[in-house]
Structure 1
Amino acid sequence: MKKVILLVVVFATVLTAFTGIKKEKTTVNDAVAIENSVAVNNVNLEASVLTWKGSKPTGSHNGTVALQSGDLVVENGTLTQGVFVVDMNTITNTDMAGSDGAAKIEGHLKAADFFDVAQYPTSKFVITSVVEEEGKLLVTGNLTIKAITKSITIPASLSTEDGISTFKSDVFTIDRTDFNVKYGSKSFFDGLKDKFINDLVEMSFEVVTKA
């Protein structure tokens, strides 16, 4: 009897732990007006990347997207400006890399009912302000996906060594439907049962400057 009670307690504890895991959506606001932006084209595109992770009831997939161009302005060790242009045609799925499944996922993400890269070949993040708080940078910027721009704030860090600066954001979570990416969303379609795709998508930036 004691063993049964112990198992019930353990199961309840595990269940509580898992149900307590909750992705928090990054708050989105109206785009912030930008007076000017310095174009320095100093980002090492081969070393820089946007990572993503999407999920559904039966599992999750993750991958990367390359940058098409980028500017990262660091003055006296302080991040002041930045523009990251993302090449949506380079969306890749890494957890199934090299398989037909990966090719299918990549094709779907690029298709008209998802990111529609034929019409919207690039996305963009433009830094509008940076505040340091308790050793972490709170970076606010305009995120543009499918020609829809929202202001978001993401935690990040900046390091500089031998003249090379590396910007790394924490993982942040956006609601894809805020950017008109509605495929398989329970928020817009009924009767999907367990075939839906979660609205929340995890992302993170790593941007490295040239030597």
Structure 2
Amino acid sequence: MDDDSRQARWERRTEIPLALASMLYLAAYAVRVLAHGLPTAWRHTSLAVLFAAWAMFIVDYAVRWRLSGQGHRFVRTHWLDTLVMILPLLRPLRVVRLYEAVQRRRGQPRLALHARVITYAGMSAALLGFACALAVYRQEHAAPHATIRTFGDAVWWACATLATVGYGDVAPVTPLGRTFAVALMACGLALLGAVTGSFSSWLLQVFSREGEDEGRPPRS
């Protein structure tokens, strides 16, 4: 049975608008980081989009806090939401839920559990890697003795870090850049574990069904 509380209804109504706002936030941040020769008017526009989207995230958090009726316990039980509100660059991960929300509203069947885990983990890795590449490039490209000089270097570093390979040919040298690196390493391990665990479970189920089918007597 679906949750019909006021908080659940609010979350269902705002799911798609907030996902779109998350994409706008990431796009505006990318413009400010990568478009060095952008006219001043466009840079001000992208900054306005950033603050408008961030304001939406703060309002959403405040409303859900109010509707939950948990008081200060809401911050402890929703620590990830609190972190994302403080660091809105992580907010685009909410887009991962957009596909399922659209399917649910159209009455279409959702993907199987294993397919959802693999799909969501892949989308999360792509969005998180892109966001961290932007943040690290912004901190590193002008730093003394930096090895991450271009956005391509930042993307390569993010891919190697998410894949837990860590070639070491490029690495952040600033304190904030290394902080992003530690967070990305932790997320890479978690996402990789989710994908491999789900895929292994799916294979076990497939082989188990095949074994059951082989053990059944043939039909006459």
What TM-score, normalized to structure 2?
A: 0.24
Q: Which has the larger radius of gyration?
A: 2
**Higher strand residue share:** 1
Greater relative contact order (Cα < 8 A, sep 6+): 1
